[in-house]
Amino acid sequence: MTKIAFVGAGSVVFTRQLIADLLGFPDLAGIELALHDIDAERLAVAEGTGRRLVEQLGTPATVTATLDRRAALAGADFVVNMIQVGGIDATITDLEVPARYGLRQTIGDTTGVGGVFRALRTFPVLEAILRDMREVCPDALLLNYTNPMAMNVWWASVVAPDIRTYGLCHSVYWTAHDLAELVGLDVADTRYRAAGVNHQAWLLDWTADGQDLYPRLRDRIAADPELERRVRVEIFRRIGYYPTETSEHSSEYLPWFLRSDAQVERFRIEPLQYIGISRDNVAEFEQARALLAAGADLPLEGGASEYAPQIIHSVVTGKPREIHVNVPNAGLIDNLPAGAAVEVPALVDAAGVRPVPMGALPPQCAALNRTYLSVAELTIEAARTGDPRLVRQAVLVDGNASSSLTPDRIWDLCDELTAAHGDLLPEPLRVAVPASSL
């Protein structure tokens, strides 16, 4: 029997979709779904969700739930990681404290100051998960959804290179899906490949019937001036390749957009957007609990679009697929740093996950990716060495932070966030750092 462990299963709506996708494959009937969370109330709702889906979809499966992580992991073939260390309160802190300093963010979970502090909170828990896996399921594949994706995958490769870790994100798929719709095509009739880093990969190959679709996209943009008021379209116009993450995310990875009121208005950006999204997630959890209590069916999205169920299905059944994954750069992208976590296509079947080497990125794309990866590298080094100065230097390198704040203000901001997150951070990094200490 194939066993799939969900760590952070209290992310109930996401857990629901992943389980529904898995149960949508008839040849995965009989799988064991082992759910774990540290929040007993959320775990109970996740367990109820899993059991209801088995009934609702009619696919046999065993659903278990436990507060004991090692018990959930024991004997697992696949581990799906969805943890959010510190929960919604820590997320709001990552957004609201920088805003008081004049540093705007929209999502704050990937790079920049929000990504750095989210990573530092996550690393100790991720390392503990990997340590448990080494002891109770060393051959399992770790399928990571937790952000900041690039930093987490990179950290996993540092502390547990023996565990096969793949970072999964739906941004490439949904970019290809939405762009196909924009130019009047079904995504199934297109071919696409992207490469770069998570949330800042580039659509390098996008065709239909062998024809490049970029001219068609440029014509579509030219016919609608409102499209030019989107962040991703501006990046596309300046760089020449379309980025694979939303405008809201993409705006905070560069120094171009959030630095002024005029740019925020011009590109219709909503700072602090993720606070509302996080509160909506809480409301969705309450709705799920109410539906279960009422004995009602759970709402489901059609089709298996998430990558974790596709990987599991392909490895178990041998069905070949091509998806996109985040993995350490071992000869995959020539002009990005070796060892850094990069996003590339991958072939999946019974033999496992095989990332596809993509050669060199267009130099302008690699240049932007390298700045992003510099923030990640300094964060990794801060955690590895316990040097709190590197935390400040990581934020100082970030384009959005450095375009909005002076170095003194960045130092003060990092000191305040360090105090706010307290015990969630690795112990050596829980200190303020006077600039004079350099």
Please enumerate, by residue number, every residue annotated as part of a binding site: 147, 169, 199
Residues 6+ apart with CB under 8 A from 155: 119, 123, 126, 127, 380, 383
Task: Please say whether the beta carbons of 180 and 206 come within 8 A.
Answer: no
User: 396: left (phi > 0), else alpha (psi -120 to 50), else beta?
Assistant: alpha
As given in the structure block, the two tokens for residue 271 are 């700072």
Please enumerate, by residue number, every residue annotated as part of a binding site for Mn(2+): 169, 199
- Of 36, 170, 177, 249, catalytic: 170
Burial class (CB in 10 A: 0-12, 13-18, 19+), 363: exposed
As given in the structure block, the two tokens for residue 60 are 């046999």
36 belongs to the catalytic site: no
Is the Cα torsion angle 245, 247, 249, 250 positive or negative in sign?
positive
Please enumerate, by residue number, every residue annotated as part of a binding site for substrate: 147
Task: Please say whether the beta carbons of 402 and 392 come within 8 A.
Answer: no
What are the phi and psi torsion angles at 205 (to 5°)?
-130, 115
Smallest CA-to-CA distance from 332 within 166, 96, 95, 134 is with 166
CA angle 235, 180, 216 (to 5 degrees): 65
Smallest CA-to-CA distance from 198 within 356, 395, 344 is with 344
Distance of alpha carbon 30 from alpha carbon 57, whole angstroms: 13
Residue type, 36: H
Burial class (CB in 10 A: 0-12, 13-18, 19+), 29: exposed
Is the Cα torsion angle 333, 337, 342, 346 positive or negative in sign?
positive
Is the Cα torsion angle 335, 341, 342, 347 positive or negative in sign?
positive
Distance of alpha carbon 16 from alpha carbon 19, whole angstroms: 5
Instruction: Give, in order, the Cα–Cα distances in Å from 386 to each of 122, 317, 322, 383, 416.
Output: 15, 44, 39, 5, 18
Rg of the chain (C-alpha set): 21
Smallest CA-to-CA distance from 343 within 208, 165, 201, 248 is with 201
The residues that are catalytic are 170
